[in-house]
Amino acid sequence: MSYQPHAVAQDYLDFTGEDLPDGFTEPKLNALLRRASLTVDGYLPRGVVVDSDDLDIAETLRDATCAQAAWWVETADGDPSGAAGLYDSVSILDVTLSKRASSSDGSDDVRISPEAVGILHAAGLLSMIVSHR
């Protein structure tokens, strides 16, 4: 059984109302949405069963996934690892990392989109607001 992401490229385009992000092809965007789906799933409370036949839950998870992917595109250049958002430069030989200056709101450590959390919370899939750190 293969993992089915909660959203595909067309869902993302409908959600954002924009064209493909710069530097993205449809397969690359679909790969990002798959990772965003896994991230969203990781924040669901234990015991929540994702039933693909429940349209309300499916739409909520689709929207949260699109919000997560859009946030990665906006804040980390489409890098779900967060490394792009943490470092200005990285070298391999003689290992050199230049840490980016922290933002004033502490969002550098955030791993899930605040909008995705809000979508899940509004739908009752989160019983409390998730701590982002």
From first to last of the 133 residues of the chain, give the pLDDT tens digit. Answer: 578 899 999 999 999 999 998 889 999 999 999 999 999 999 888 777 766 678 888 999 999 999 999 999 988 755 665 555 555 566 677 777 666 555 444 445 568 899 999 999 999 888 665 555 5
Residue 60 lies in a domain: yes
Residue 128 covered by a domain = no
Residue 127 forms part of a structural domain: no
Question: Which residues lie closer than 8 Å to 82 by C-beta, 6 or more apart?
Answer: 76, 111
In a domain, 131, yes or no: no
Q: How many domains does the chain have?
A: 1
Whole-Å CA distances, 50 to 58, 64, 98, 124:
8, 14, 40, 13
**C-alpha to C-alpha distance for 117 and 5, rounded to whole angstroms:** 17
Domain hosting 60: range is 9-122
Q: Is 82 contained in some domain?
A: yes
Note whether residue 109 is domain-resident.
yes
Residue 47 inside a domain? The answer is yes
Pair 97, 54: CB distance under 8 Å: no
Check: pTM over 0.85? Answer yes or no.
no
Helix (H) or strand (E) holding 40, with range, is: helix 26-42
Distance CA 22, CA 54 (A): 34
Residue type, 48: V
The answer to whether residue 1 sits within a structural domain is: no
